[in-house]
Amino acid sequence: MSTSTLVQQPHARQSRRALVAGSVGNFIEWYEFAIFGSLAAVVSANFFTTAGASDFEALVKTYASFAIGFFFRPIGAWIFGRIGDRIGRRPTLIIVLLLMTAATTLIGVLPNYATLGIAAPLLLTLVRILQGLSAGGEFGGAVSLMTEFAPTGKRGFYGSWQSFTVALGLLGGAGVTALLSSVMSAQDLAAWGWRVPFLLALPLGLTALYLRLKLEETPNFRRTHTAGHTPTPVAARPSKAETAKAILLGIGRLMGWSAAGYTFLVVLPTYLQTSLHATFQAAIIATVLSNAGFAAAIIPAGILSDRWGRRPVMLTGAILIAILALPLMKLLQHPETPAWMMGAAVFIAGAAVGLLAGPGPAMLSEMFPTTVRYTGLGLAYSLANAVFSGSAGLIITALIASTGNKDVPGYYAMATCVVSVFALATLRGAAHKKALRD
């Protein structure tokens, strides 16, 4: 057997190792996302509560620090994408992991405002920026790694694990926070206990580092680069205009996933409490059910996309959301809707988002050649999320406040998914059956 054949057909053990090593970094990223969000009130009290400032003002500053990290993701996607497309996926993902682990662990040891004064919130914001940069560099590299190592006909399944670990990371972060709050007093949690979930990022990161150090470079990158990281003649880089066009098309295909996902999986509890006056318990149950539907659909959707193609599976998810978003709002708003019906509705909404999230990573990977894959798919994903996820809470809250229309979340999800339907309809051929482009 020739060397080129060996490169084209990675060993099953290499593929499984790449799947685990690619997924674990994403788990840590979303674990941190969950713990920072869950502990926002405690963090604000430690870092942003100044003399004369209200608790509300401190919380707003905390969420602003949270959002800053979100909007630095596209910058990270560009910086680390360029590095990853030139020196390789493996070394870049190791750098990204070290930065992410160090930044998250630092939050657990930063002195608070009472100790360090104004420098404390400034340092926290700087660390959030570092987290945003590393998170932006994680997606493109992890998806490139998993899909370039994926066995023939299983790229959708392998890529779906990237999305599935989002659900696992959110669950893990929420679970650790809930456990601490149940075994510690409120005073201890506010004084020092809140640091524990952030410090746990260190052993998690070291485990992930061990896995990534054992990785080999992906077959696609090795095939298209010679010593010195120079593209081979058969792997000529596409023009900047072609890459930019693919990124914009990718954003269109992802915007429904980004907007509907954030609306139904993250904004939902706040909407239920502030606009529909639901109890905290009811809002949390609804959120758990929507996230359960999301998690349950992701991997099956990835597998189905390997059989039927990305287009029919993702179009089904986008069309379902576009059709059902407004009826879902009406169902939630109606005071006589049975609880089981509400639960089923939000579960289905989450599952529809899962139909987009499962095949999404593989679909993006198939849009770009190896020489710009890390950069291209990372930018498409991070820009879509920065604009349509990062702004979702602000847009929805502002529109409800100004118009009084409680259907705004439904309109937002529906409008973005309609755009995605047209963008996804441009998917053609059988890219899911073909080798990734060099």
- Residue 234 — pLDDT band, cuts 50, 70, 90? very low
Q: In the chain, what percentage of residues exceed pLDDT 90?
A: 45
User: What is the structure's pLDDT at 207?
Assistant: 92
pLDDT at 432: 86
Position 232 scores a pLDDT of 46
The CA-to-CA distance between both ends of the chain, in Å, stands at: 21
Of 29-38, 163-172, 195-204, 404-413, minimum mean pLDDT range: 29-38
**pLDDT in the model for residue 383:** 93
DSSP symbol at 432: G
- pLDDT score of 67 more than 90: no
Report whether 264 contacts 325 (CB < 8 A). Answer: no
Statement: residue 86 has pLDDT above 70: yes
Share of the chain above pLDDT 70, in %: 87
- Residue ranges and CATH numbers for the domains of the chain are 1-236 (1.20.1250.20), 239-430 (1.20.1250.20)
Residues 389-413 pLDDT 10s: 877 766 777 788 788 888 888 999 9
pLDDT(266) > 80: no
pLDDT tier for residue 1 given thresholds of 50, 70 and 90: very low
Q: Is the pLDDT of residue 46 over 70?
A: yes
pLDDT tier, 417 (very low <50, low <70, confident <90, very high otherwise)? very high
Which one is predicted more confidently, 253 or 431?
Answer: 253
> Of 326, 310, 327, nearest to 254 (Cα)?
310
Mean pLDDT for the stretch of residues 337-363: 91
CB 80 within 8 A of CB 92: yes
**What is the rounded distance in angstroms from the CA atom of residue 288 to the CA atom of residue 71?**
26
Written as six digits, the tokens of 252 are 């269109």
The token pair at 155 is 């790229």
pLDDT at 283: 72
List residues bridging with 225 in a β-sheet: 231
- Encoded tokens for 224: 């298209």
How many residues are given for the chain? Answer: 438
pLDDT in tens, 301-331: 999 999 999 999 999 999 999 999 999 988 8
Write down the pLDDT at residue 228: 47
Q: 127-166 in b/e burial notation, b at 16+ Cβ within 10 A? A: bbbbbbbbbbbbbbbbbbbbbbbbeeebbbbbbbbbbbbb
- Give, as one character, the DSSP assignment of residue 230: E
